[in-house]
Amino acid sequence: MENYDLSFILNELGECRDQYFQAVSPPIVQTSNFAFRTVEEMRIRFQDEYGGYIYSRGLNPTVDILRKKLAALEETEDALVLNSGAAAIFLSVVPFVQQGDHVISVQQPYSWAQKLFNDILPRFGVQTSYVDARELSQIRDAIQSNTRLIYLESPNSWDFAIQDLEGVAKLAKSHNLLTVIDNSYCSPIFQKPSRWGIDLVLHSATKYLSGHSDTVAGVLCGRTELLRKVFNLEYLTAGNGIQPFNAWLLIRGLRTLPVRLERIQKTTMIIVECLKKHPKIESVLFPLDPEFPQFELARKQMSGACGLFSFVVKCRDPHRIELFCNKLRHILMAVSWGGHESLIIPRLAGIPLEQFNPEDSSHRLIRMYVGLEDADYLLSDLTQAMVHL
Ligand SMILES: *Cc1c(COP(=O)(O)O)cnc(C)c1O
């Protein structure tokens, strides 16, 4: 495994322009199957599908360009690209557990990770314990003789809780456990979990990696030995690899990843500072805010933070909180994040109105994602809507 310059990874690595007319942008190899010249070639390939092309449910040349770039970005040996982040979550866990096993997970991981742990794995005799993984001791205390895997998400995409990646990796190694992290929030630009010893790194590539809100995709990075195991059974069986066109969109998105994140980080800092001072805002949660409870740990393992943060409004009237959201003119109300466009989701959208509890600050929480717009443009939109709070 080599360490490449970021510019080399994004502009050259994996690209073989001699093979396609010196085209700068790689071709979309839109084929389902690949032909062999001899039976012997076919026989060799059948013995090791992970080593070459047979059928695009397995490997595909456009996808392979992307795999090389993603593995290099995460500083892992290898990467697989899936047709969603949810598929990446599934493939980071299911291949590594069997009946009777136990998984330790952070509290409130991404919602579809919770479905996997709560509703699917128990059907196959695999139980999950959720722990407050901000404390290493909570993870240590949850380890049982049948524990196989520790599932992390750092920072969490709602409350930004962080885990000590170095500490968890050491603990896991001493008990022979596999560690998995959802690294979507930081992207490999701001956090490289493999440097701390985490085994498998997954992403919703729908978010920053693609960056334009025009495709759904997922990534799983790790040692070749682990990914080969995933590929040969669950990946090929579920058939949830990415399609060549979507892989091409991701290659295009990656070209501008560092530039987008730099810009988003700057704008986010400005907006966080303004909201912190705003009389109608009770608190702001952002991992690189010096007042964030785990700020020191965030600074140790993250070289930056992105456009996602949350704020709690002082207003206790749910109708006025709704009015604030409805009156935004430019910031869109939508799920997802990581694209060019700024977004909000109020927590109360997920709560039946009669259950809204004004005393519970989490009910007054609004998650915001800052996109590529100008800070002033976003601030004036927030300010005009805040008159309703
Ligand atoms: C969106 C998201 C996912 C799921 O990814 P999809 O591409 O939507 O399947 C997983 N983890 C986090 C943190 C996310 O935000």
Strands 102-106 and 147-153: parallel
String of DSSP letters for 64-113: HHHHHHHHHHHT-SEEEEES-HHHHHHHHHGGG--TT-EEEEESS--HHH
187 CA distance to ligand 1 middle (Å): 12
Going by alpha carbons, the residue nearest to atom 6 of ligand 1 is: 85
CB 170 within 8 A of CB 197: yes
String of DSSP letters for 3-63: ---HHHHHHTTT--GGGGTT-SSPP----SB---SSHHHHHHHHH-GGGS-SBTTS--HHH
Is 184 a pocket residue for ligand 1 (Cβ < 6 Å)? yes
Cα separation of 294 and 289, whole Å? Answer: 9
CB 152 within 8 A of CB 181: yes
CB 142 within 8 A of CB 104: yes
Going by alpha carbons, the residue nearest to atom 2 of ligand 1 is: 204
Is 182 a pocket residue for ligand 1 (Cβ < 6 Å)? yes
Of 18, 51, 60, the closest CA to residue 247 belongs to 60
Which burial class, exposed, middle or buried, applies to 299 when counting CB atoms under 10 A from its CB (0-12, 13-18, 19+)? Answer: middle
214 CA distance to ligand 1 middle (Å): 14
Over its length of 389 residues, how does the chain's per-residue pLDDT go in tens digits?
Answer: 678 999 999 999 999 999 999 999 999 999 999 999 999 999 999 999 999 999 999 999 999 999 999 999 999 999 999 999 999 999 999 999 999 999 999 999 999 999 999 999 999 999 999 999 999 999 999 999 999 999 999 999 888 999 999 999 999 999 999 999 999 999 999 999 999 999 999 999 999 999 999 999 999 999 999 999 999 999 999 999 999 999 999 999 999 999 999 999 999 999 999 999 999 999 999 999 999 999 999 999 999 998 999 999 999 999 999 999 999 999 999 999 999 999 999 999 999 999 999 999 999 999 999 999 999 999 999 999 999 99
Q: Provide φ and ψ at 150, rounded to 5°.
A: -115, 125
242 CA distance to ligand 1 middle (Å): 15
CB 27 within 8 A of CB 63: no
Q: Which pLDDT score, from 0 to 100, does residue 181 have?
A: 98
Looking up tokens 């939508």 gives 334
One-letter amino acid identity for 356?
Answer: F
Q: Which pLDDT score, from 0 to 100, does residue 306 have?
A: 85
Of 13, 1, 61, the closest CA to residue 248 belongs to 61
DSSP, res 220: E
Q: Which pLDDT score, from 0 to 100, does residue 4 have?
A: 93
Strands 147-153 and 127-131: unpaired
Looking up tokens 């025009």 gives 214
> What strands, in cross-sheet order, belong to the sheet with 332-333?
281-285, 308-313, 365-369, 343-346, 332-333
Beta partners for residue 152, in sequence order: 181
Q: How many CB atoms lie within 10 A of CB 153?
A: 26
CB 310 within 8 A of CB 370: no
332 CA distance to ligand 1 middle (Å): 19
Cα separation of 247 and 60, whole Å? Answer: 10
pTM of the model: 0.97
String of DSSP letters for 119-176: IIGGGGT-EEEEE-TTSHHHHHHH--TTEEEEEEESS-TTT-----HHHHHHHHHHTT
Cα separation of 292 and 136, whole Å? Answer: 18
Query: Nearest-5° angle of CA 217, CA 287, CA 317?
Result: 90
CB-based contacts of 381: which residues, under 8 Å, 6+ apart? 328, 329, 330, 331
Q: Provide φ and ψ at 241, rounded to 5°.
A: -70, 160
Mutate to test the pocket of ligand 1, among 106, 110, 156, 186 (most ligand atoms within 8 A of CB): 110
Q: Which two tokens stand for residue 327?
A: 């009156």
CB 189 within 8 A of CB 217: no
Is 110 a pocket residue for ligand 1 (Cβ < 6 Å)? yes
Query: Nearest-5° angle of CA 258, CA 112, CA 283?
Result: 65
